[in-house]
Amino acid sequence: MQIRDLPYTDPGAPDVRSGPRFLYWLGRNQLGGQLKALGWGLLHQCGIAGLPLTVGLAVQAAIDRSGDRLALAAALNVLLGVAIALGEMMLHRTAVTNWITAAARVQQLLARKAADLGSVLTRRVAAGEVVAVSTGDVEKIGWFVEALSRFVAAAAALVIICVGLVLYQPALGMVVAIGVPVLALAVLPLLPRATRRADIQREKAGRATELASDTVAGLRVLRGIGGEELFLGRYREASQEVRRAAVRSARMWSLISAVQVLLPGVLLITVVLYGAHLALDGRIAVGELVTVYSAVTLMLYPLQHFEEIAMAYSFSRPSAKRAARVLALQRVTGPADADTAAPSGPLTEPLSGDLYDPASRLLAPEGRLTAVVCGDPDAAGRLADRLGGHAPESDELPSVLLGGVSLDGLPLEDARAAVLVQDKDPVLLSGTLRELLDVPSSGQVEAAAALTAAHCDDVLDALAQASVDGDGDPMATRITERGRSLSGGQRQRLALARSLVADPEVLVLDEPTSAVDSHTEARVANGIKRLRTGRTTVVFTSSPLLLDAAERVVFVHAGEVVSVGTHRDLVRTDARYRAVVTRESDEEEPKPVSVSVPASVSSSAATKKVEESA
């Protein structure tokens, strides 16, 4: 895989049982790149290792006054210089390629998981952790892959050099062959403690970052209650904890670096003393001593890769663990019987029909605007996710049905095309308004019609005034990240317009007008009703204006449908419904309306039963 070939057609199915297993899976998929790095690394390292031989030949030729051997040593030195330059250049290129392609594979896996789970992802894992994994953790994993490319070549080169020295000069070669493994493994007892200290540092840094983010996000509130100094003191304390943890971690890594410098020096002194003794006894020539000495000196360079790989692994292991935890999340599907099972192959035509949830007995008839009232906003959000095919973490609940077909069992792309869920906190991506509204759609709803239905006139005026090119075209005006330059109500209505442009078969809206005033809310309610005529629309809301515009209102209490009717009828007949909608205390608890509908009945039969009971 080359960088120009990215992205991957299929990033694969990762092994997410643990962080080390994920790293192993990633390395196995990089086997071709690692073998290339090994080849170029051996050329580079062996070229460096060959320099002592040419130096020894040159010294001995000068002592023996042999011009031919001196010329041969010079020619070999030039060839080794070319090999070193070529090997270093290609090793760096291959190692960086391995880094970038590995990071791209992890990012593709994370993007696929985010698309698979949708809004459920941030309910199972903190949004900050997902961002941390896709940015900093990906970099650390890529660093390990790159360091591994150089480490394998360095380790192979050390083995070759030790074997070569034993064959070239057995007496000194054995000393080097015994000393090098000791040097390489000497830091192993220190690594667990260094890793623990590094983990503590990262944990404290994460807490400090989280505290800083919360403080900045709530700065306006903190100023209102005079709490800036309190939170500033907390951040100072957290920052000092990070500093102390970083110093403790740096001390351990400094000790490892000191060991990596001290022990090679001891080996070098030992080789010089023993080699000088052998030379004085006439057992080795001066050129051989120079060769062995130069080889040991140059071996210090590949030995540095042992420290780097230890650091890279200790930093990448927790990052890989976090990535594996996110990638291990699965799209949970509820049980479905044979009558409601989804077709095995791709759909030949879009799904349509009534939307029915057997767990709550919520029914949204095809082509009608249904409003759902829940006393618990969190329960409303979970129910909206279920209607969109985002099953909860438990798989005990039966699957939602669309036209009698299990929604959870459909391929992800078919489920997303059939049902679109807009949660209560929609995100606006940066770009122009035209790019924001350029989404996969049926093509039957124009952007202008969607903006009108969402009552975005003031938003268009604000964007036109903010136009930088002077032509005043709001569609060409760039919207800042997450729409921060707009008010909450303006962001909410633009997100609604985007959902209306998509024109899905079923549109589920969770509190689409919670941030707008009542005058605007009434217009938005009428716009949704007019534009979605003949389309199935479900709105989770407690706003009387939206409820009055709905053709059908369903009241959900304790996770089950207890009342069905129009808004005005339910306000008059159901005290609990009236308490939720009007924010009054319910003095009496009327008996809930029985609407028991078996999950096995068809959607049309469910419609009939619910309406009769209402």
Domain assignment present for 100 = yes
For residue 217, the model assigns a pLDDT of 62
- pTM of this structure: 0.66
Residue-wise pLDDT for 542-573, tens only, equals 999 999 999 999 999 988 999 999 999 999 99
Instruction: Indicate if 11 and 151 belong to the same structural domain.
Output: yes
CB within 8 Å of 101: residues ≥ 6 apart:
1, 2, 3, 6, 30, 33
**209 or 577, which is more confident?**
577
Q: Is 436 part of any domain?
A: no
**Which residues, in sequence order, are CB contacts of 181 under 8 Å at separation 6+?**
none
Q: Do 173 and 30 share a domain, yes or no?
A: yes
Residue 127 burial (10 A CB sphere; 0-12, 13-18, 19+): exposed
Residues 355, 323, single domain; the answer is no
Please indicate, yes or no, if residue 490 is contained in any of the structural domains: no
pLDDT digit string (tens) for 269-311?
A: 888 888 888 888 878 887 777 777 777 777 777 777 887 888 8
Beta bridge partners of 601: none
Based on DSSP, count helices (H) and strands (E) in the chain, helices before strands. Answer: 22, 12
What's the DSSP call for residue 368?
Answer: S
Q: Specify if 335 maps to a domain.
A: no
Residues 257 and 375 in one domain: no
Q: Which two tokens stand for residue 82?
A: 């070319």
Residue 137 tokens read as 């953790």
Query: Tokens representing 595?
Result: 């609407």
Degrees to nearest 5, angle at CA 474 with 473 and 475: 90
Q: Buried (b) or exposed (e) across 258-273, using 16+ Cβ within 10 A?
A: ebbeebbeebbeebee
Query: Is residue 98 domain-shared with residue 223, that is, in the same domain?
Result: yes
Instruction: Return the C-alpha torsion angle 587, 591, 593, 598, nearest 10.
Output: 130
Q: Which CATH number characterizes residue 306's domain?
A: 1.20.1560.10
pLDDT tens-digit series, residues 39-93 = 898 888 888 777 777 877 888 788 888 888 888 888 888 898 898 899 889 988 9
Tens of pLDDT, residues 234-265: 888 888 988 999 899 889 888 888 887 888 88
Residue 122 belongs to some domain of the structure:
yes
Determine the 3-state secondary structure of 538 from DSSP. Answer: strand
- CA distances from residue 476 to 484, 486, 490, 494 in whole angstroms, order as listed: 17, 16, 17, 15
Please report, for the domain that includes residue 402, its CATH number: 3.40.50.300
pLDDT digits (tens, 9 = 90+) for 115-133: 777 766 766 776 666 777 8
- C-beta atoms surrounding 367 within 10 Å: 15
Q: Tell me if 547 sits within 8 A of 581, measured CB to CB.
A: yes
Number of domains in the chain: 2
Angle between helices 19-29 and 138-168 (to 10 degrees): 70
Mean pLDDT of 199-225: 70
| Host domain of residue 70 | 3-327
